[in-house]
């Protein structure tokens, strides 16, 4: 079981507005964290002492009085001086946008401006703590390494290839039939990635249905990943619906799985893991 | 003749006399289509609930505290301002007066509000940030330079050290040749809501209440036109309360001040006419109008029936309004101009005596001069162009508004009974009751917004990407150092023996039961600083450290 994340919510300086501090404290508790709220008028020394004593993972600073540029960096410096700079520090309040780069350069991990949903702050803290501790979080999947290819649905390869090869001058890498998807594909190389032209082999093919409904055009985006099973697991954990819950064989012997567009704001994504030794 | 008819005739006669002394803005009022606009509209007089509504300027004041309201004079347009040094703020004040503002409202920085000098360790990073930095009389003289204190009324948002700032104001006026009995203005002086919602307390409740009743007693004799307290719902609402809670907690606090003053031996009619209120104007238009109308009725009944006040001035709830800061969004800040307009209109239709309209950029930083001007123009447009000020209580008689007014009264009385059960407002504050109620509502509101049940335009709906960032006002970061240097010079220049003697006299006073106001006035006159004065009181009274 993952340990409970501990957070200190602190009000540095003389500012008495603690609606935000109280609301975020409660929201983080509801998210499953342990939260200690310092109360008003805390000096940087008091905040750092409480953070160390309470052994927290993160400190959330709230300031609406404009004293953030002086007080926030002082807290970071004190944490460093006391060897506690593994504590993640975030901030919020009335912080002008132009001060944010300065505060982040001083070591504040992120400034949350008014209107930020509390869940965003909770997820940010969770991710930062898990990353620090080397725990695979539930924050989303390991980012893809590149765009492996972009799939484009075409009615006839013969008709469109001259445009890609002669007019755009792209290099045709090869044509193959992928029986699992009932398509004939042509790969065109562009730098680190490819265009994949898809011609349906019969009327039952998903690509044929796509063309019938929406016409020819961009069909899917393939994300190049490693350890595809793990990536699939992470997505399922996040409630993403997959067309293939276990990998199927795609073009070039790759392991692939499609995400359902209903879960991805209407874009058809493919996860694609190339066989070892085939990396470019 | 029915009772209603008789009272209406009396009201008409009385109002005619008032108009002879205070004429209305125009002889006759018309709409743009030349339809005449009467002073007051009523249903068939036999159906008029004269006991609950009264006539304007008459008990229980549901329809307003003056018989002619804005037909005689608009509300006071009073924009809260202050930042940086006294000189800079003085410039902004002179600018606002030149732009047609009719009253001043001073924002002090947090060290001043909490009784620390600018060179105190706790003041680090805070000097001049949310308001002007005032350490001594010298700063106050710079703040009020070239402002005629016999003509302008000044509101000061100051609570725990209210006595000190009022003392400074009195002495600056004295130096301008203006006697205290001519001074008009307000100090906020409402410590209970500091414990509940705003956080700038210094001393524990008991000595804080003494400082407040000392001010009541002193002003009755020496500064009779001064509003000695502004009992504030504003910050309670900003902290997350709803309209009913705002009103209930504010009036419960008001009761606590009345009880304290009576307990200190004052007669209700000696101080009640100088009590003022300060409310928030939020987004829900009709509810806000109803809130203001209900507030007047509840207070009037309380003063007359419960406390037996005889002077009609004691029954009148006079209030300042500020539009709701927490309703403003950092996203698409120009939308805030529209929010402020609707809120300001609710305040005007609710019969406010003075109004601050927020600037569009307040969720981002202190307002720029341009934003502050648009905010003031918003009030001027409502006053001069909309025609809503041409008849008294134009929403009176609306089925909906009257119903909401009645409901608001009922709900507020229910809450107040609960607070009475807890032993009154001071005790309820000490038990954290109001704080918990407010936090609960604040959290529910936040959840509703995040679930999208409550739409905030531009924030959780109708958003845009890549918003252009507006120009923001910045306070000179070197100000803290400058203010410290100035304070060090003052400490060298002043007669330090006299200053110490004044502080010792104050200490003795604090140990006894004498009124502290004259002693504090002596202190400021000899340039004792706010930190020194509050320092002595901290030593004698102790500090409040939260609940």
pLDDT for the residue numbered A253? 84
Mean pLDDT of B22-51: 96
B125/A69 CB distance under 8 A: yes
Residues of B in contact with A65 (CB under 8 A): 110, 126, 129-130
Mean pLDDT of A15-31: 94
* pLDDT tens figures, B374-427: 999 999 999 999 999 999 999 999 999 999 999 999 999 999 999 999 999 999
**Cα–Cα distance list, A115 to B331, B461, B472 (Å):** 8, 11, 18
- To the nearest whole Å, the CA of B315 is away from the closest chain A CA by 33
pTM, full prediction: 0.81
B443/A22 CB distance under 8 A: yes
> What percent of chain A clears pLDDT 70, i.e. is strictly above it?
96
Q: Cα B346 vs. chain centroid, distance in angstroms?
A: 17
pLDDT for the residue numbered A78? 97
Reported confidence tier of residue A51, pLDDT bands at 50, 70, 90: very high
Reported confidence tier of residue A1, pLDDT bands at 50, 70, 90: very low
Residues of A in contact with B366 (CB under 8 A): 66
A98/B194 CB distance under 8 A: no
Q: Which of B200, B443, B474 has its CB closest to that of A23?
A: B443
B253 domain-assigned: yes
Q: How many beta carbons lie within 10 A of that of residue B176, not counting itself?
A: 15
The domain that holds B168 is classified in CATH as 3.20.20.240
Mean pLDDT of B499-509: 98
pLDDT tops 50 at residue A280: no
Residues of B in contact with A77 (CB under 8 A): none
Residues of B in contact with A9 (CB under 8 A): none
Residue with tokens 């000097």: B127
Burial of residue A265 (CB within 10 Å: 0-12, 13-18, 19+) is exposed
CATH number at A6-133:
3.40.50.280
CB A71 within 8 A of CB A44: yes
Q: What is the C-alpha to C-alpha distance for residues B434 and B196, in angstroms, rounded to an integer?
A: 7
- To the nearest whole Å, the CA of B17 is away from the closest chain A CA by 48
CB B326 within 8 A of CB B434: no
Q: Which of B357, B305, B352 is nearest to B328 (CA)?
A: B357
Of B477 and A89, the one with more pLDDT = A89
A40/B199 CB distance under 8 A: yes
Q: What is the C-alpha to C-alpha distance for residues B309 and B117, in angstroms, rounded to an integer?
A: 41
Of B101 and B54, the one with more pLDDT = B54
Q: What is the C-alpha to C-alpha distance for residues B206 and B260, in angstroms, rounded to an integer?
A: 10
Reported confidence tier of residue A140, pLDDT bands at 50, 70, 90: low
pLDDT tops 90 at residue B115: yes
- To the nearest whole Å, the CA of B236 is away from the closest chain A CA by 10
B129/A67 CB distance under 8 A: yes
pLDDT tops 90 at residue B471: no
Q: Which residue of A has its CA nearest to B110?
A: A14
Q: Which residues of B touch A (CB under 8 A)?
A: 110-111, 113-114, 116, 121-126, 129-130, 194, 198-200, 238-240, 326, 329-331, 363-366, 439, 442-443, 446, 450, 456, 459-460, 469, 472, 474-475, 477, 546
Residues of B in contact with A114 (CB under 8 A): 329-330, 363
* pLDDT tens figures, B258-301: 999 999 999 999 999 999 999 999 999 999 999 999 999 999 99
Residues of A in contact with B331 (CB under 8 A): 115
pLDDT for the residue numbered A240? 87
DSSP state of B98: H
Which regions of chain A carry the CATH code 3.10.180.10?
146-273
**Cα–Cα distance list, A38 to A29, A47, A114, B199, B547 (Å):** 15, 8, 21, 14, 12
B199/A15 CB distance under 8 A: yes
pLDDT for the residue numbered A137? 52
Go through chain B and tell me how many residues it has. Answer: 547
What lies within 8 Å, CB to CB, of B177 at 6+ separation is: none
Which regions of chain A carry the CATH code 3.40.50.280?
6-133
Q: State the average pLDDT for chain A.
A: 90
Residues of B in contact with A67 (CB under 8 A): 124-126, 129
- The structure tokens listed for A40 are 């008003």
Q: Which of A19, A71, A96 has its CB closest to that of B239?
A: A19
CB B161 within 8 A of CB B516: no
CB B263 within 8 A of CB B223: no
pLDDT for the residue numbered B547? 61
CB B356 within 8 A of CB B339: no
* pLDDT tens figures, B313-359: 999 999 999 999 999 999 999 999 999 999 999 999 999 999 999 99
- To the nearest whole Å, the CA of A232 is away from the closest chain B CA by 28
Residues of B in contact with A115 (CB under 8 A): 329-331, 456, 459-460
B35 domain-assigned: no
Q: What angle do CA A186, A188, A192 make, to 5 degrees?
A: 135
- To the nearest whole Å, the CA of B229 is away from the closest chain A CA by 20
Question: DSSP per residue over A140-162, as a string?
Answer: -PPPPSEEEEEEEE-S-HHHHHH
- The structure tokens listed for A169 are 């001058």
Question: DSSP per residue over B439-463, as a string?
Answer: HHHHHHHHHHHHHTSS--BTTTBS-
Task: Tell me the three state secondary structure of residue B235.
Answer: helix
Q: Cα B226 vs. chain centroid, distance in angstroms?
A: 13
Q: Which residue of B has its CA nearest to A65?
A: B130
Task: Tell me the three state secondary structure of residue A103.
Answer: helix
What lies within 8 Å, CB to CB, of A231 at 6+ separation is: A141, A142, A225, A271
- CA dihedral B21→B25→B29→B32, nearest 10 degrees, is 180
Q: What is the C-alpha to C-alpha distance for residues B42 and A176, in angstroms, rounded to an integer?
A: 87
Domain housing B442: 69-451
DSSP state of B46: G
The domain tally of chain B equals 1
pLDDT tops 60 at residue A138: no
CB A57 within 8 A of CB A5: yes
Q: How many beta carbons lie within 10 A of that of residue A141, not counting itself?
A: 18
B235 domain-assigned: yes
- To the nearest whole Å, the CA of B330 is away from the closest chain A CA by 6
- CA dihedral B149→B153→B156→B157, nearest 10 degrees, is -170
B442/A117 CB distance under 8 A: no
CB A48 within 8 A of CB A10: no
pLDDT tops 70 at residue A136: no
Q: Which of B363, B442, B474 has its CB closest to that of A23?
A: B442
Q: How many residue contacts between A and B have a Cβ separation below 8 Å?
A: 100
- To the nearest whole Å, the CA of B535 is away from the closest chain A CA by 16
Q: Which of A10, A26, A113 is nearest to B444 (CA)?
A: A26
Mean pLDDT of B201-230: 96
The strand order across the sheet containing A110-112 reads A34-37, A6-10, A58-63, A88-93, A110-112
Q: Which residue of A has its CA nearest to B456?
A: A115
What lies within 8 Å, CB to CB, of A113 at 6+ separation is: A92, A95, A97, A100, B330
- To the nearest whole Å, the CA of B457 is away from the closest chain A CA by 11
pLDDT tops 50 at residue A250: yes
A15/B194 CB distance under 8 A: no
- The structure tokens listed for B83 are 């930042």
- To the nearest whole Å, the CA of A52 is away from the closest chain B CA by 22
Residues of A in contact with B126 (CB under 8 A): 13-15, 65-67
pLDDT for the residue numbered A135? 75
What lies within 8 Å, CB to CB, of A69 at 6+ separation is: A99, A102, A103, B125, B477
Long-range contacts of B149-152 (CB under 8 A, 24+ apart): B149/B173, B149/B176, B149/B178, B149/B182, B149/B183, B150/B176, B150/B178, B150/B182, B150/B183, B152/B97, B152/B103, B152/B104
First CA to last CA across chain A, in angstroms?
39
Reported confidence tier of residue A211, pLDDT bands at 50, 70, 90: very high
- The structure tokens listed for B540 are 């004698």
CATH class of A146-273: alpha beta
Task: Tell me the three state secondary structure of residue B186.
Answer: strand
pLDDT tops 60 at residue B168: yes
pLDDT for the residue numbered B458? 93
- CA dihedral B144→B148→B152→B157, nearest 10 degrees, is 10
Does the CA dihedral A184-A189-A192-A195 come out positive or negative?
A: negative
pLDDT for the residue numbered B257? 97
Reported confidence tier of residue A277, pLDDT bands at 50, 70, 90: low
């Amino acid at each position: 079981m993952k340990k409970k994340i501990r957070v200190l919510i602190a009000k540095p300086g003389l500012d008495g507005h603690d609606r935000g501090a109280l609301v975020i404290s409660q929201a983080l508790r509801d998210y499953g964290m342990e939260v200690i709220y310092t109360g008003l008028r805390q000096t940087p020394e008091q905040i750092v002492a409480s953070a160390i004593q309470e052994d927290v993972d993160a400190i959330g600073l709230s300031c609406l009085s404009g004293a953030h540029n002086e007080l926030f960096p002082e807290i970071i410096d004190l944490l460093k001086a006391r060897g506690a700079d593994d504590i993640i520090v975030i901030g919020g309040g009335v912080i002008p946008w132009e001060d944010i780069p300065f505060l982040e350069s001083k070591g504040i991990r992120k400034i949350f401006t008014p209107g930020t949903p509390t869940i965003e702050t909770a997820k940010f803290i969770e991710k930062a703590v898990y990353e620090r501790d080397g725990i695979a979080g539930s924050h989303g999947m390991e980012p893809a390494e590149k765009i492996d290819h972009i799939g484009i649905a075409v009615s006839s390869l013969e008709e469109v290839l001259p445009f890609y090869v002669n007019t755009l001058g792209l290099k045709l890498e090869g044509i193959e039939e992928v029986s699992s998807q009932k398509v004939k594909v042509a790969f065109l190389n562009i730098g680190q990635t490819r265009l994949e032209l898809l011609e349906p082999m019969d009327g039952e093919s998903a690509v044929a249905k796509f063309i019938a409904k929406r016409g020819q055009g961009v069909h899917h985006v393939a994300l190049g990943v490693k350890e595809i099973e793990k990536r699939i697991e992470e997505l399922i954990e996040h409630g993403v619906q997959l067309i293939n819950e276990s990998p199927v064989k795609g073009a070039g012997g790759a392991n692939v799985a499609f995400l359902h567009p209903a879960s991805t704001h209407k874009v058809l994504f493919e996860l694609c893991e190339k066989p070892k030794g085939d990396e470019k | 003749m029915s009772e209603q008819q008789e009272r209406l005739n009396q009201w008409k006669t009385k109002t005619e006399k008032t108009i002879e002394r205070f004429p209305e803005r125009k002889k006759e009022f018309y709409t743009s289509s030349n339809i005449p606009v009467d002073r007051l509209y009523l249903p068939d007089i036999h159906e008029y609930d004269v006991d609950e509504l009264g006539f304007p300027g008459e008990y229980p004041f549901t329809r307003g505290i003056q018989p002619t309201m804005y037909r005689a004079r608009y509300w006071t347009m009073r924009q809260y301002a202050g930042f940086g040094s006294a000189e800079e703020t003085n410039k902004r004040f002179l600018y606002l007066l030149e732009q047609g503002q009719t009253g001043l409202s001073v924002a002090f920085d947090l060290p001043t509000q909490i009784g620390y000098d600018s060179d105190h360790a706790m003041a680090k990073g805070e000097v001049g940030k949310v308001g002007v930095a005032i350490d001594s009389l010298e700063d106050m003289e710079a703040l009020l330079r070239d402002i005629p204190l016999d003509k302008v009324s000044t509101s000061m948002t100051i609570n725990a050290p209210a006595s000190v700032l009022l003392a400074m104001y009195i002495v600056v006026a004295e130096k301008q040749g203006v006697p205290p009995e001519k001074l008009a203005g307000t100090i906020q002086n409402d410590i209970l809501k500091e414990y509940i919602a705003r956080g700038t307390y210094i001393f524990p409740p008991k000595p804080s209440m003494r400082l407040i009743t000392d001010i009541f007693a002193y002003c009755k004799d020496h500064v009779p036109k001064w509003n000695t307290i502004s009992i504030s719902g504003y910050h309670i609402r900003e902290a997350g309360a709803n309209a009913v809670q705002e009103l209930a907690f504010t009036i419960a606090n008001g009761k606590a001040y009345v009880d304290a003053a009576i307990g200190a031996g004052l007669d209700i009619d000696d101080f009640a006419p100088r009590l003022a209120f300060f409310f928030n104007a939020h987004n829900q238009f009709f509810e806000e109008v109803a809130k203001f109308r209900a507030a007047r009725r509840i207070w009037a009944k309380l003063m007359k029936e419960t406390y037996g006040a005889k002077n009609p001035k004691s029954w009148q709830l006079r209030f300042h309004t500020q539009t709701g800061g927490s309703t403003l969004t950092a996203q698409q800040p120009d939308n805030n101009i529209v929010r402020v307009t609707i809120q300001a209109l609710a305040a005007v239709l609710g019969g406010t005596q003075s109004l601050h309209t927020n600037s569009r950029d307040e969720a981002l930083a202190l307002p720029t001069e341009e934003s502050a001007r648009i905010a003031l123009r918003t009030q001027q447009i409502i006053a001069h162009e909309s025609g809503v000020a041409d008849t008294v209580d134009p929403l009176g008689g609306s089925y909906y508004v009257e119903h909401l007014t009645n409901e608001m009264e009922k709900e507020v009385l229910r809450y107040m009974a609960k607070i009475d059960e807890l032993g009154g407002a001071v005790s309820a504050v000490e038990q954290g009751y109001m704080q918990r109620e407010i936090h609960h509502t604040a959290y529910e509101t936040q959840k509703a917004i995040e679930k999208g049940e409550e739409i905030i335009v531009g924030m959780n709906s109708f958003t845009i990407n890549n918003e252009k960032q507006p120009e923001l006002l910045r306070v000179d970061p070197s100000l803290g150092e400058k203010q410290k240097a100035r304070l060090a010079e003052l400490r060298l220049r002043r007669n330090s023996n006299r200053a110490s003697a004044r502080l010792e006299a104050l200490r003795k006073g604090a140990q006894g039961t004498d009124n502290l106001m004259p002693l504090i006035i002596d202190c400021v006159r000899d340039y004792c600083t706010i930190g020194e004065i509050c320092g002595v009181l901290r030593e004698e009274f102790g500090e409040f450290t939260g609940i």
